[in-house]
Amino acid sequence: MSRRDFLKLGIGAFSALAVLEISGASLLFMKPRALEGEFGGTVNAGAVDSFPNGSVVEFPAGRFFLVRSLDGGFLALYQKCTHLGCTVSWEADNGHFFCPCHASSFDLHGDVENPPAPRALDTFPVAIVGGEVLVDTGQIHTRDAFATEQLVYA
């Protein structure tokens, strides 16, 4: 084997290896991240008893608010406004969610109080497992209005 053939073979092998490494890294980069405890995965919100009736707790990493209704039911509301997608905030003094972009407001259960938002805030599935509240932020449920069947009880 000549020196030229040896160099061609070596460069070809290293090039093939580089293409494989770049392809593998690209696939890993494009893979969606659904980590436990973060948006896109399942978030353990905590023990059922740690949420008093009528409370609203924000989970920034999960991008949702966990609402415990006055009757004890749980509802996880996506913090994205249904009008243009701005982030809503909970105003405890006024007892509603407020969107700063166009002044839409929503009640405790996410129903529209003040348009231009066209419908209620979206929700995430809630499950009670072993006394812990689990919220699956990988599944967004759209809805027109609040219904009592959307609440999950311990």
Q: What mean pLDDT comes out for the span 135-144?
A: 91
Q: What is the structure's pLDDT at 35?
A: 54
Q: Do 87 and 138 sit in the same domain of this protein?
A: yes
DSSP class of residue 141? Answer: B
Is residue 80 within 8 A of residue 89, CB to CB? The reply is: no
pLDDT category of residue 34 using cuts at 50, 70 and 90:
low
What is the Cα 92 distance to its own chain's centre? 22
Q: Is the pLDDT of residue 40 over 80?
A: no
Domain that holds residue 101: 42-150
**Could you give phi then psi for residue 96, rounded to 5 degrees?**
-150, 165
Q: What mean pLDDT comes out for the span 21-29?
A: 87
Q: Do 74 and 112 sit in the same domain of this protein?
A: yes
Length of the chain: 154
Q: How many domains does the chain have?
A: 2
User: What's the first-to-final CA gap in the chain, in angstroms?
Assistant: 76
Q: Is the pLDDT of residue 10 over 90?
A: yes
Evaluate whether residue 88 is within a structural domain.
yes
C-alpha distance from residue 105 to each of 70, 76, 121, 135, 144 (Å)? 19, 17, 10, 23, 15
Q: Do 20 and 95 sit in the same domain of this protein?
A: no
Q: Do 91 and 143 sit in the same domain of this protein?
A: yes
Q: Is the pLDDT of residue 38 over 60?
A: yes
Q: State the chain's mean pLDDT as an integer.
A: 89
* R_g (Cα) of the chain, nearest Å: 24
Q: Is the pLDDT of residue 36 over 60?
A: no
Order across the sheet with 56-59: list the strands: 56-59, 64-68, 74-78, 123-124
Q: Do 91 and 131 sit in the same domain of this protein?
A: yes
Q: What percent of the chain has pLDDT over 70?
A: 95
Q: What percent of the chain has pLDDT over 90?
A: 62
CA distance 119 to 106: 10
Express each pLDDT in 52-106 by its tens digit.
Answer: 998 999 998 889 999 999 898 999 999 999 998 899 999 988 889 999 999 999 9
